[in-house]
Structure 1
Amino acid sequence: MPLHFAKAADLLIPSLLHGFGVVIQATILGFILATFIGLIIAIGRLSSIKIIRGFLYLLLELIRGTPLLVQLVYIYYVVPLLLNLIAGLFGYKTDVQIASLTAGILGLGINYGCYMSEVIRAAIVAVDPGQTEAALALGFGKYQALFRIVMPQALRSIIPSLGNYLVMMVKDTSLLAYVAVNELLLRTQTFASQTFLTIESYTFLALAYLIISVPLSHLVAFVEHRLKTK
């Protein structure tokens, strides 16, 4: 058994190192997209226009009511077919395809953005309304007051939660294997099927995710502690 682990280490670890790059890219881009989507949805949910609030509420229910894996598969396989079908209705022949990594980033961004929007919205609502009223009285516009007065105060309570979502997103990148993204899980599955070193392969996979997620979790906890002590 130790020899098998040594063999797996020699052959699999270089492949996993390449997979790290894919995981980091998907996580960073997915998190940036999720933060942007979360902010837009949070602001929209606070809008005085009922149609916007109703639409965003339905969107949140749709995304939160379906698994991330289903959403990834839908974006990768179904959305291109729908786009080609719609184009065909207007007399255009298209062959739209979505790259696997792009589909993965979109899926992560949309899914996490919907969850993060509630955190952002709650943080904005928690800020004393008098702050906004004072800013408006001083001549600030509505959105100037939001981004220059309210958001900086809400940021302290948002960052720890967003950090936890970041750690979760790292682990959820494993689901991208199901839409053909050549990340850690897919590389490990391929290696295990070729060498039959199943125990060794998936042990190294678990260690790989621990190497990423544990230090990141401690970093998030450190940032949260620093924010609380200020």
Structure 2
Amino acid sequence: MNNLLSQLHFATAAEYLVPSLIHGIGVVLEATFFGFILATIIGIFIAIGRLFGWKIVKAFLYVFLEVIRGTPLLVQLVYIYYVVPLIINLFAAMLGYKTDVQIDPLVAGIAGLAINYGCYMSEVIRAGIVAVDKGQMEAALVLGFGRYEALFRIIMPQALRSIIPSLGNYLVMMIKDTSLLAYVAVNELLLRTQTFASQTFYTIEAYTYLALFYLILSVPLSHCIKFIEYKLSSSNR
């Protein structure tokens, strides 16, 4: 056992890898922040479309949700990064234009996270809207509010209050899923760790530090979400 421990180089790995991981946290937070904001917006509009949209809109959104929820996030990220630019260039060529469209890895990663999580969050948001008493909408219409004005000014605030804990859980999940961005060349925590481990062969040390960094990011946030949930439940009593 002592011989095995003597072969590990946690101090050396910390000296060279930890500063790189600290920089990588900025990439993770950027992807998570913009991905979550866009996912929330997408989720809201999908939920509203499925509740109040025309039949053709509801049908399109249903198919879209089935496609996104039926395929892995990693496949969606790879598709956005590698395939979408090829499709755009192909259509441009068919129209007689020569293009070389490429998508920035981080942009592709944020787009993939936003679309994937937006679809899942839309169900939570839709359930929150449905849970609000229908009399709220009727009262708002009687008071002269337009349908969508009442929805965004009266119904949505009440719905969001009840679904904040669920959205918070999605936020924690998104932070952990940013590790998948390594597969589309985003220089986040996992890619930095893989590069370091392949160059130094400090595999145990490198991936141990990677796990610790994700714990540092996700565990405090999880407890914050639980605290917010507790406060919200206490205020409703």
- The TM tier, using the shorter chain, reads over 0.9
TM-score (norm 2): 0.96
Give, as a single letter, the amino acid of the residue that structure 1 aligns with 2:66.
E
Give, as a single letter, the amino acid of the residue that structure 1 aligns with 2:234.
T
* 3-state SS of 1:98 partner: coil
- The reply to whether residue 80 of structure 1 matches residue 85 of structure 2 is yes
* 3-state SS of 2:103 partner: coil
The equivalent residue for 1:68 is 73
Paired residue for 2:56, among 51, 56, 66? Answer: 51
TM-score (norm 1): 0.99
Paired residue for 2:12, among 7, 17, 31? Answer: 7
Give, as a single letter, the amino acid of the residue that structure 2 aligns with 1:201.
A
Output one character per residue of 1:156-196: Cα deviation in whole Å (capped at 9) or x when no partner.
21100000000000000000000000000000000000000
The equivalent residue for 1:107 is 112
Paired residue for 1:204, among 205, 209, 212? Answer: 209
- The reply to whether residue 160 of structure 1 matches residue 160 of structure 2 is no
Query: Which range is displaced more, 103-112 or 48-57?
Result: 48-57
Q: What is the alpha-carbon distance in structure 2 between the residues aligned to residue 10 and residue 120 of structure 1?
A: 45
State how many pairs are aligned.
230
Q: What is the alpha-carbon distance in structure 1 between the residues aligned to residue 160 and residue 41 of structure 2?
A: 14
Q: What is the alpha-carbon distance in structure 1 between the residues aligned to residue 221 and residue 139 of structure 2?
A: 39
Q: CA deviation at 1:149?
A: 1.1
RMSD over aligned CA atoms reads 0.8
Q: What is the alpha-carbon distance in structure 2 between the residues aligned to residue 85 and residue 130 of structure 1?
A: 52
The equivalent residue for 2:27 is 22
Q: What is the alpha-carbon distance in structure 1 between the residues aligned to residue 212 and residue 57 of structure 2?
A: 45
Provide the identity percentage.
75
